[in-house]
Structure 1
């Protein structure tokens, strides 16, 4: 049995950890061996579960484990060559931004492995005498390149797992606030650009009907925003959870959250499986279709380089490796309608 993977991402403070933890408890209760991993630098998984979890999988309850990844510890364990060369490494992480950097990195890594690493020794041999005369620090040695090469290969392997739409999906978590929804829409566009499948949208902390007069105006505004979410992300399922009367921590409250979110769904299932990218072979040519929801035509750029198609959207870029069947074809026409980019390829 292959492992089902669900990634929850979204703006900081929207409740990603609570949603991930409640999903984990629901999956474990259904009989699945489940691991909930937090990669957020500001960990709160232990507080959410009311159980202390560490840097390795920690048993929380029957069939449920938790883990809070310590980025510094992983750096020290796997990057010894880089450590010896660098004096200090600063990493600034943001929840959605860090996810996008992580998901876009494998395309960059492939370029390094194909173009730079094969020439590593020649580059260092040619540059070292010049650098020694003008720099106060030595050039990176082979150990540094070995660490980066190993990281790149691991990221590419991870990328192949995350792009398996039968087993891995991304779920966007948001609150029904205008700014948060705007960021989620941009993230949804970039997920499609990089070839990842978003199978659900989670709207957390929705004021219930009995909220009272004090929050009545706010609830009305939330209802308007919810209509925007449902229409904008359709046909992706939108799962809603109320703003509870108390903080969502501990097993009982997490189970209430899971009941609200998954009343009509299996939390472990792939809830939406429409492909985000499709290549169709035609007589004498081919056509590529790439879903880019919420994009504008003016934001999109295209460039073909051999069997690579470079697609840019508002500063984000992805290099799509084209199949060898397109080797004799070149991109001749592109159109963007109804949130989808279509590129036509014809004989050179």
Structure 2
């Protein structure tokens, strides 16, 4: 099974490109699901049908669904939200304020990712195409699993210890509601789902991202930032789709001016994404609505190739070591993170216990250190050639000489 997530700046044709990919894959015999997490509901508009929160067949081998995150939140998190609301009310908050605070930010978006996991583990599909929201929302969406996993790993053991100590006091604390066994079990299951989701999204052989853009300077600038952020979070990008290229021809100066401007941007796009396959789509004569129009787009985009295929992806985070007999353990280690299209001033680094905290262009990731590096000190860092290199040497107190 393969999963490809499509994203791009709003208005670049992301939904149309995702649909064309799904239609083309289904035409090649792949049982394909097009899943939309975009609140704009554009998939249904492009197919002229009503799309629901369950897979619905629209053609041979092609199914579509639109994730209703609000409905999933209300059905899955009602008990947890009720418990938090009760705690706040008992603490003195008025009911309206308690109701508003009990809605955890980002939970609805997380429901969309859990829906993806649900379809992936079902084993029904050869190919899942995800039409994500525009880039800013997508980056927040894809950052959620790692953030939730980081908190869950640290808070869940504490949560269990608190419950064991508080349970004997429950009878004396009449005004403080204790969480039910079902709620504790739901929290434990959520922790497991987060871990499974991180594993699914982090498997480059299964899940990749495909960026859609138009040949315009502002759009390209955002696409470059998006690539940097995706690399920071560890998500491999397997290709670029440049949409709405105006074909040359005719004597119209307005058209000639656009063709020349787009040609210049195509050169910059090739320089910006030189290691990725770049596919192009011409500006269509009419709005591509309906399966027939999408089939034409799919052929133009992929010809006779399988849209599931992508280039071999290198690890976003790599660790190299150099022999140094003067050091405890005999090695110096370098962690390398590929972070293209950044200025040195955009990159910040810190160490927090067993995590390396990397901030790039305003986005932050906690990179868990492997066992060997946890026993090392950070002795240097440099950003050059589109990569951050962090140097570690063994701490003598934690890594005694043999």
TM-score by length of 1: 0.88
Which residue matches 2:17? 19
* 1:147-296 matched pairs, under 5 angstroms: 150-210=189-249, 213=252, 214-263=254-303, 265-283=305-323, 284-296=331-343
Q: Deviations over 1:106-136 (max 9, x none)?
A: 222223222222223676889x9xxx9xxxx
In structure 2, do the counterparts of structure 1 residues 199 and 121 end up closer, same or farther at CA, with 3 Å as the change threshold?
closer
Which residue in 1 is equivalent to 2:389? 342
1:277 and 1:113 map into 2 onto residues whose CA distance is: 23
1:83-162 alignment, distance < 5 Å: 83-84=81-82, 85=85, 87-88=99-100, 89=103, 95-120=134-159, 141=179, 150-162=189-201
Q: What is the deviation of 1:191? A: 0.5
CA–CA separation in structure 1 for the residues paired with 2:225 and 2:54: 33
Given the superposition, is the C-alpha separation of residues 167 and 259 from structure 1 closer, same or farther in structure 2, using an over 3 Å criterion? same
Q: How many residues align?
A: 339
In the alignment, what sits opposite 1:70? Answer: 68
On the 8 A contact 1:51/1:60 being kept in 2, the answer is: no
Contact 2:149-2:194 at 8 Å conserved across structures: no
Name which of structure 1's ranges 96-105 and 224-233 shifts more when overlaid on structure 2. 96-105
1:210 alignment partner, SS class: coil
Q: CA RMSD in A?
A: 2.7
2:93 match: none
Cα displacement (A) at 1:58? 0.4
CA contact 1:237–1:272 (8 Å) conserved in 2: no
Q: For the residues of structure 2 that align with 1:149 and 1:13, how far apart are their CA atoms? A: 40
- Secondary structure of the structure 2 residue equivalent to 1:37: strand
Matches of 1:138 and 1:295, distance apart in 2: 50
Which residue of 1 is the match for residue 91 of structure 2?
A: none
Equivalents in 2 of 1:195, 1:312: separation in Å? 13
User: 1:266: Cα distance to partner?
Assistant: 2.5
Cα separation, 2, equivalents of 1:341 and 1:180: 25
1:295-334 Cα offsets, whole Å, 9 max, x none, are 1111111112333211111221111112112232222111
Give the conservation status (yes or no) of the 8 Å contact 1:311–1:320.
yes
1:81 aligns with 2:79: yes
Contact 1:201 1:239 (8 Å CA) reproduced: yes
CA shift, 1:138, in A, is 7.7
Deviation at 1:228, TM superposition (A): 0.8
Q: Secondary structure at the match of 1:87?
A: helix
Contact 1:7 1:169 (C-alpha < 8 Å) held by counterparts: yes
Q: Distance in 2 between matches of 1:186 and 1:21?
A: 25
SS at match of 1:266: coil
Judge conservation of contact 2:240–2:276 (CA < 8 Å) in 1.
Answer: yes
Structure index of larger Rg = 2
* Cα deviation code 1:72-99 (max 9, x no counterpart): 1111121112442262448798621221
Cα distance, 1:52 vs structure 2: 3.2
Distance change (3 Å), C-alpha of 1:63 and 1:329 = same
Distance between the aligned counterparts of 1:145 and 1:176, measured in 2?
Answer: 51
